Amino acid sequence: MNHTFLQLIKYGLVGLTTNTAGYLLYLWTVHLGISPILAMTLLYILGATMGFIGNRKLTFKYTGSLLGSGSRYLLTHLAGYTLNLGILVIFVDKLGYPHQLIQAIAILTVAAFLFIMFKTVVFRSPQK
């Protein structure tokens, strides 16, 4: 089986687990009265932390520097967070679409962006 495809499957399993839990917590916290942007921010941090552990060990089996991969991971997630925030601001705040639908779409969009960045930048194979 293609190595990248196998990584994508593992990434999907890690992501499905963390994002399903995160999305349900997102809906619950918004239901309790927390703004969609604050809820997304808090849960993004929690999901990113859980994802680092799962993706570093399971998806990419990365054995390089924890500090190096951690700092690249943080920068990549800052870009992912900015993308997610932009999607919410544009489509919910400006255009009035329902936050539930837009956040679900944003999760998929950011996930695709993150996989590409994790594979090519964060957990890249050492140069031979």
Identity at 31, one-letter amino acid code: H
Q: What is the pLDDT of residues 4-44, one digit of tens each?
A: 999 999 999 988 888 888 889 989 999 999 998 899 889 88
CA distance 22 to 13: 14
DSSP summary character for residue 64: S
Q: Kindly list the distances between the CA atom of residue 4 and the CA atoms of 80, 88, 115, 121, in Å, as whole numbers in the listed order.
A: 21, 30, 10, 14
CA distance 103 to 36: 9
Q: What is the pLDDT of residues 41-91, one digit of tens each?
A: 898 888 888 889 989 999 999 999 999 999 999 999 999 999 999 999 999
